[in-house]
Structure formats: structure tokens, C-alpha cells
Amino acid sequence: MNLQILTNNVISIHKSLQSSAAKAVNRMLTIRNWLIGYYIVEYEQNGEDRAKYGDQLLYRLSTDLKNKNISNSNERELRRYRIFYLSYPQLYETITGLISDEEIRGTLSPDSKFLSIWQTVSPEYQEKQIQVPPAKLIDRLSFSHFVELLVISDPLKRTFYELECIKGNWSVREIKRQIHSLYYERSGMSKKPETLAQLVQNKVEPIQPKDIIKNVYAFEFLGLPVKDVVEETDFEKALLDHLQEFLIELGHGFCFEARQKRILIGDEYYFIDLVFYHRILKCHVLVDLKVEEFKHSNVGQLNTYLNYYKEEMKQSDDNLPIGILLVTDKNNALVQYATAGMNENLFVQKYLLELPSKQQLENYIVKELPNLK
């Protein structure tokens, strides 16, 4: 054996076990969420005090779990786990093979039974049992994959995407893209679906071990800082570090609040680069950095953040939030201010007196760019 062989052996075992570890984390997370759904449904059916809580059940449960620091347990997620259990009853045998029946049932009554939604599926479909083996689903798909699949009500269509996702080793982003591109419908209309499938799979970048575990669900499950999910290049990180210091040092009331602030809009997580609270203007200031040329979608995304803050974060005595979009393209810079429904004239007259000017920010970025390359 020479040094090169030794190096190759170490790399090989590292990649193999790294992949196994990532899959193990996602497998346990999927099992946990399925079982939470089971517990909720079982309680709805047999809970002694279920009538006491009624429609408030998930809210009360979410509050109790939050107080106990249980991750991913807000009301929206609990509702999703319930749907997950009802949509995938076939995972039962695989899950009971991985975890003891005693662990699963816990304090539930001995008469508790796993419910099934097969009665809602056509007899023809039940007879054919067109489904991906449950063990394959748990082994190859993360819970984030299942989140995308749960929006599909047609069992056959869902099975199609399960199969294609496993065959192509798709990332969560890829399965979302294929669903939105109507791949299932296009395949059904195609005279040669096999050719279409080959074309689709040839364009897919296979998921990597780090991609398997780098999602919000897995990070919170492991108790890791969710902000670490966001991968910044050294360039982006340095620019944000300097920008954060620059705004605070301006001395115009910028109070740093968060970096890579996570927000949930609909069923999707977003991350805001920098969040400040301006003590003079009495409002939040959101900063979004794009290391690319300007795109109109950048403004749309920032306005989405602003509307979220206006509806969810703004206190009664706060003013409307302000957004600052920074776009860098080589040695050029563009700064754009955005508001959430604020009168433009009022904004210009009142707010720009305290905020740095566009020219000031653009000059700062242009000056910093060469030093960070």
C-alpha cells in the first residue's frame, strides 16, 4: 500500500459513513414526525379529555411542546405531521421494524390501532397496490421531501414523484422544481415517457451527503443553530460582516437584531441577511444582499419580507418596516430602498434623513469589493 491508496481509502470511508450518518438522522426525523401524527390522530379518536380542547388541540399541544423546547412543534408543523401519518399509513410496518412497539405506543391504551386512509382510495388502486416499498421511502427520502409530496392529493401522482425522486437521487429543490414544471402531466402526454424521463434525469445534479442533512428540519431536530443551514461564500460573509459593523458605526440609531433571520411564509423558510431595529425611526430595517446583477425578483422578495414583518413582527407603536436591497456585480453596486405600503413622499422626507444615502452605501460597497477578493 502506498500513500495514495491510504488517502483514497480514508476518503472513501469518510464519504460512505458521512452519507450513512446523514441518512440515519433523516430517517429518525421522518419516523418521529410520523409517530407524532399518529399520537395526534389517536388522541382525537380516544383521548379522554379530547372534547375539552376541540379545535384548540393543536394550539394547546404546540404551546406545551414549545415550553419543553421540542423542535419543529408549532401548530402548522403539528398539522403537517397529522397529514403525513394519514397520507402514509403504509410506513407502519417499516417503522415498527425499526423501533420497538413498546417505544411507539408509550402511554397509549392497549386497544389503540393505527388508522388507515385506504378506504378513501379506489378499490382498483387498492388491489394493484401501486406504491414504492415503504422501506425505500424512509431510507431514501428526507422529511423535507415528504413535505413537498404531501401537497399532492392524487396517490398515483405522488407515487410517480416518489419513484422518480428515488431513481434520480433528487434534492428537495429538484423535486419542487419538477412538480412545478408539471413533469407528471408532461410524462402522461408524452409519446415516449421513457425518453422524457431520461432527459430529466440527465439534467439533475445528484444530492450530496451534506445536502441531505442541511435542511431546517434536520438542524432543529439535532439542536443545531438553524442559521448554519445557510451557506455563505467567504466573500458574502466578509461583506456582510463589514456591512453590519458599518451600519452600527454610523451612529444613526441602528441596533443589530439578527443575522440570517429565519422566517416562515406559507410552507417555505426564508432567511433575511441582516435585521436591525432603528431606535430613532422606531421600525425594523431589513437588509438583503445579492452578490449578483440586479433582478426584479430581488425587489419582490424583499417586499415579501417587509410585508411579513408588517403583519407578524410590527408592534402597535412601531412604524412600518424599511428594506435596503444591496446588489453587487463585479465592481459595481446598486442600492434600492423598499417600503411596505408606505407613502413614498413621506418615506423620502422623513426616513432618508436618518438612513444612509444610496450614494453613501454604494460608495462603501465599491470600496470594500476589491479588498474582499
Predicted pLDDT at 125: 44
Predicted pLDDT at 149: 94
Cα-flanking dihedrals φ and ψ of residue 291, to 5°? -85, 70
Opening angle at CA 338, ends 320 and 250, nearest 5: 80
Predicted pLDDT at 228: 56
Predicted pLDDT at 83: 93
Report the pLDDT averaged over residues 73-90: 90
Highest averaged pLDDT of the listed ranges 155-164, 227-236, 299-308, 355-364: 155-164
Predicted pLDDT at 370: 67
Band of the pLDDT at 54, cuts 50, 70, 90?
confident
Predicted pLDDT at 208: 65
Q: Residue holding cell 450513512? A: 20
**Is residue 188's pLDDT more than 60?**
yes
Predicted pLDDT at 101: 62
**Is residue 350's pLDDT more than 60?**
no
The model's pLDDT over 95-143, given as tens digits with 9 standing for 90+, comes to: 877 776 666 665 555 555 544 444 444 444 455 567 889 999 998 899 9
Cα–Cα distance measured from residue 71 to residue 77, given in angstroms and rounded to the nearest whole number: 10
Predicted pLDDT at 95: 85
DSSP symbols for 107-123: TS-TT------GGGS-H
pTM above 0.85, yes or no: no
8 Å CB contact between 313 and 305: no
Predicted pLDDT at 246: 73
Q: What is the DSSP letter of 180?
A: H
Predicted pLDDT at 224: 62
8 Å CB contact between 372 and 235: yes
Structural domains of the chain, with CATH: 3-217 (no CATH), 231-372 (3.40.1350.10)
Length of the chain (residues)? 373
Kindly report which listed range (118-127, 190-199, 204-213, 310-319) carries the lowest average pLDDT score.
118-127
Predicted pLDDT at 297: 77
| Cell numbers linked to 336 | 434600492
Cα–Cα distance measured from residue 317 to residue 128, given in angstroms and rounded to the nearest whole number: 61
Query: Which three-class secondary structure string do you get for 320-373?
Result: CCEEEEEEEECCEEEEEEEECCCCHHHHHHHHCCCCCCHHHHHHHHHHHHHHHC
Residue 95: its H or E element: helix 92-98
